[in-house]
Structure 1
Amino acid sequence: MTETDIQPYGPQAYDSRHIPQQSPQIRQHAGLLCMRLPWGNTLEVAPLTFIEDDSPTELREKEEEERRNPGSYARKQKKFHNACDHICYRQAHASIWSHMWAYMWGIGRFLFWLVLILSTIGSLITATLINEEGIWEEVIREYKTFIIPWLLAPTLLSWIIGHIAIHRLPSYWIFTPSKGPVWELNRQTGMVTVFARKPGQFKEQGYDGDFIRPFHEFDAYVHVLPTRQGMPLYSLHLVHRYQPVAIDFMPLIGRQSSDKNSLALWDMWQNYMDISKPLPDIPVLEEFRHLDPTTAEHDRRTGRNPRYWRDMDDRTFKAAILAMQDRINQLDALSRPNLMAQYCQYVDR
């Protein structure tokens, strides 16, 4: 793609300098365990997964694959209903089969080692405490008749099958597309889309198909979910201010023991959607920066190296990750004033 592919922003593209007045909020649609995050005063941050998952080596391999097979990246995105470029970020879940192989590999491996370690420790403690003649023969018999065939063998088999499926079989056999995308944030149009996964899903909201509304009508909330031990886990939700429709970003960054990654993701989404600012400077978006008008002008003015991430060496990449982590740790977004409150009236719980 070249500069001739640059497309102008749509009339409703989000511009933090020109936010329209909006209707007052009537009802709060976020859960009781949610904290609303303020708009504005963002920093140039992104969750580490948006940095670590696209190393310079992987970027160059992807670039070489595209050179050898032009259009492969676009075809793959279309097949899997995903997108991540200067136009939009569209997310789709993996298919049920893809999840199954991943669970067999990950959970099988975890349970195998867990059972092996606990059963071995338990057997040693039992034999030591009882200390009777023939106890070791009894422990070995228990291992042979119960632990190995009913606990170790099934988990080991699950681990092996999952490993073979993910790492040895052709990826197009294992990683299959889902039925369609789940949500999309579109920088060029300024719209957020929550895709209807079943007929009439948003009928009560007055939509026959997908739910599509401007970005400035959504608020970000940190959802706090306590574990069984009472420890809080945090994830980010984007909730429509006027309708009970929301996006859960947990599949992107998971649930974290700290709220910092949720705060960083909210800053990143605001920067991504705001056409008055350049695209977030993260590896996955670098190849599209020259196609976004604001970003292209910013990079021309600042003299940014267009291959900053792609030509980076491993040591510099690790330093960039640590620098981003430091910026994330210093985030204090909850104390910021909510700039969106100037354009709409919120309701308290």
Structure 2
Amino acid sequence: MQKYGSNAYNSQTIAPQPPAKAKRRLLSKLLSAGQAALPFHRTHQQIPQSILEDMTPERWREMEQEDDGDFQYNWNEQFIQIYVPQLWGRLYLFLAALAKVIVLYISIFIMIIQIAIIPATHYDILGFISSSIWYLEWIFIPSALIWAQFELSTNFRTNLWFLRPRLLFEFNRQTGMVTLYRPGRLVRFSHPFVEFDCVLTSAPTQLGFMRYGLMLVHRYQGYRRGIPAALLLSKLSEPRDEMLRLWNFIQCYMDVSQPLPDMLALEAGRLNDPTTAKVDKKTGRTPRYWRDMDKATFAQTIRQTVRTYPDPMMGETIPVVADRESC
């Protein structure tokens, strides 16, 4: 069983944090733009609905069978890691999609056009053959090779290195650290969770709807980047209440004074987390409560879980910073 590090976040024993002194910080820019800072608070077992629905018991059991029971997930009792596609990977996926369209559709259309215009060229068969060979050599064959390679790598799970997503950031419950990474898994910065301020961002879309986000900004360093925590959600746009639930979920996950959030993605690691294991032993919780659910029970349980906590920000505010106004 893992032990917690010296920087692990414990909401029951938070040392008063000094106010920030850095000028022109990302937090100041966000707040001056009308964004809202969210406080630390006594959390509860409220989880965003999109996170609960992101992984189903059926899918989890399939992955366990595929890996002979040794399935590892990037959400566990030690850390939550968020990955994003690499730039070259995005370009390759675009080229693969374009190649598929060329092979299956555009090539047939071009051949029909060429055959149709043969009478207009006075039956210039040599010209038709020459243009066809040029198209095959420079467009069709390269496109077919790109598409074939993509299909083979997908079916046999042998993706090229640049197709593998890169690690962007990590919340580590065991150490209490929040880390933002550069490409190549190089650390951009890493600080204790309690040193971050959470900002609820909002911006109107082209259709006039509000799009919300969640950004964690380090309080004491003048970083130009923050932790885009909204990427924990599977959907690009979620309502404001879901973002508030997400902030509650992050605090609950990082808080070693209480058990892990009770959800499918974290269930396998509950026995390995000291606080969670004690609570589960006391309550007699079934170890595979989520993983053995059928589809109907899973959907009903999610609905009941969401209804249990109607107020996303319920709970006593924790005064983390000694003088919040000076931040």
Q: Fold conserved (TM > 0.5)?
A: yes
Matched, 1:10 2:5: yes
Aligned mate of 1:181, from 154, 159, 167: 167
- Measured after TM superposition, the shift of residue 20 of structure 1 is 1.1
Matched, 1:24 2:19: yes
**What is the 5 A alignment of 1:226-245?**
226-245=204-223
Give the direction of change, closer, same or farther, for the CA distance of 1:345–1:291 in structure 2 (3 Å limit): same
Count of residues in Structure 1 that have an aligned counterpart in Structure 2: 270
- Measured after TM superposition, the shift of residue 197 of structure 1 is 4.0
Give the direction of change, closer, same or farther, for the CA distance of 1:286–1:56 in structure 2 (3 Å limit): same
Matched, 1:56 2:57: yes
CA distances 1:193-212 after superposition (whole Å, capped 9, x unpaired): 1123489x9xxxxxxx5311
CA distance in 2, matches of 1:294, 1:233: 36
What amino acid does structure 1 have at the position aligned with 2:20? Q
Matched, 1:94 2:80: no
Aligned mate of 2:192, from 210, 214, 223: 214
- Measured after TM superposition, the shift of residue 318 of structure 1 is 0.8
Give the direction of change, closer, same or farther, for the CA distance of 1:224–1:104 in structure 2 (3 Å limit): farther
Instruction: Say which SS state the counterpart of residue 178 (structure 2) adopts.
Output: strand
What amino acid does structure 1 have at the position aligned with 2:177? M
Give the direction of change, closer, same or farther, for the CA distance of 1:106–1:276 in structure 2 (3 Å limit): farther
Structure 2 residue aligned with 1:128: none
Structure 1: segments with no counterpart, 5+ residues: 1-5, 78-82, 108-156, 202-208
Matched, 1:42 2:43: yes
Structure 2 residue aligned with 1:247: 227
Matched, 1:339 2:279: no
Aligned mate of 1:300, from 263, 266, 281: 281
What amino acid does structure 1 have at the position aligned with 2:272? L
CA distances 1:26-49 after superposition (whole Å, capped 9, x unpaired): 355321242111111222122223
CA distance in 2, matches of 1:275, 1:290: 14
CA distances 1:248-279 after superposition (whole Å, capped 9, x unpaired): 12433244352111111111110110000101
More displaced stretch, 87-96 vs 251-260:
251-260
Instruction: Say which SS state the counterpart of residue 182 (structure 1) adopts.
Output: strand
Contact 1:36 1:220 survives alignment (8 Å) = yes
Give the direction of change, closer, same or farther, for the CA distance of 1:303–1:105 in structure 2 (3 Å limit): farther
- Measured after TM superposition, the shift of residue 182 of structure 1 is 1.5
CA distance in 1, matches of 2:219, 2:152: 41
CA distances 1:28-79 after superposition (whole Å, capped 9, x unpaired): 53212421111112221222232212111111112222326x4xx44xx7xx
Instruction: Say which SS state the counterpart of residue 92 (structure 1) adopts.
Output: strand
- Measured after TM superposition, the shift of residue 281 of structure 1 is 0.8
- Measured after TM superposition, the shift of residue 96 of structure 1 is 3.3
Give the direction of change, closer, same or farther, for the CA distance of 1:221–1:165 in structure 2 (3 Å limit): farther
**Length-normalised TM-score, structure 1:** 0.68
Structure 2 residue aligned with 1:286: 267
Instruction: Say which SS state the counterpart of residue 239 (structure 1) adopts.
Output: strand
Instruction: Say which SS state the counterpart of residue 324 (structure 2) adopts.
Output: coil
- Measured after TM superposition, the shift of residue 102 of structure 1 is 6.3
CA distance in 2, matches of 1:165, 1:252: 29
CA distances 1:265-316 after superposition (whole Å, capped 9, x unpaired): 1111101100001011110111110000000001000111101011111111
Give 1 or 2 for the bigger CA radius of gyration. 2
What amino acid does structure 2 have at the position aligned with 1:247? I
**Length-normalised TM-score, structure 2:** 0.72
What amino acid does structure 1 have at the position aligned with 2:275? T
Measured on the aligned residues, the alpha-carbon RMSD in Å equals 3.3
Contact 1:195 1:210 survives alignment (8 Å) = yes
Contact 1:25 1:347 survives alignment (8 Å) = no
CA distance in 2, matches of 1:167, 1:266: 37
- Measured after TM superposition, the shift of residue 85 of structure 1 is 1.0
Q: Percent of aligned positions with the same letter in both sequences?
A: 32
Matched, 1:85 2:63: no
More displaced stretch, 228-237 vs 217-226:
228-237
CA distance in 1, matches of 2:152, 2:93: 7
What amino acid does structure 1 have at the position aligned with 2:232? L
